[in-house]
């Protein structure tokens, strides 16, 4: 499994206020989408999220988003190493993802760019 990079997950109260700051900080424009009632803006290595507190509470449990070449391969490697896949793989606006709990209890999202 090849890890291509990571995104830092940031829950914000007001996405409209936060996006310009992170665009200037990262030197990149935001890619926006909505998922499950949560507004998301991907800006460089930052993944900004805003929405209902009940949804954000769940999202805060995920330590980071890890980009990989292939989510199916990631699932095989993770389960082979003793991780537990708790969601996915499923299609998202940016590719496919899964959520895995590592043996130490850490929770990560793995994403690929495949459709």
- For residue 50, give the nearest of 17, 96, 90 by alpha carbon: 17
Distance CA 58, CA 67 (A): 20
What is the pTM for the complete model shown?
Answer: 0.82
Secondary structure class of 45 (helix, strand, coil)? coil
CA of residue 94 relative to chain centroid, distance: 10
Can you read off the two tokens belonging to residue 94?
């940016």
What tens-digit pLDDT sequence spans the chain (115 residues)? 899 999 999 999 999 999 999 999 999 999 998 887 899 999 999 999 999 998 898 889 999 999 999 999 999 999 999 999 999 899 877 789 999 999 999 999 999 987 5
Q: Look at residue 35 in the predicted model and tell me its pLDDT.
A: 80
Query: Residue 115: what pLDDT?
Result: 56
pLDDT at 36: 79
Strand pairing report for 64-68 and 3-11 = antiparallel
Cα(59)–Cα(76) distance, integer angstroms: 24
């Amino acid at each position: 499994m090849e890890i291509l990079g990571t995104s830092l997950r940031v829950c914000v109260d007001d996405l409209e206020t936060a996006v310009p700051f992170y665009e200037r900080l990262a030197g990149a424009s935001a890619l926006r989408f909505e998922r499950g009632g949560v507004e998301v803006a991907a800006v460089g290595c930052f993944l900004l999220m805003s929405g209902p507190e009940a949804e954000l509470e769940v999202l805060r449990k995920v330590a980071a988003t890890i980009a990989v070449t292939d989510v199916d391969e990631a699932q095989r490697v993770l389960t082979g190493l003793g991780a537990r896949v708790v969601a996915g793989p499923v299609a998202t606006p940016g590719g496919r993802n899964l959520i895995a709990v590592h043996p130490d209890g850490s929770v990560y999202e793995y994403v690929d760019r495949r459709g």
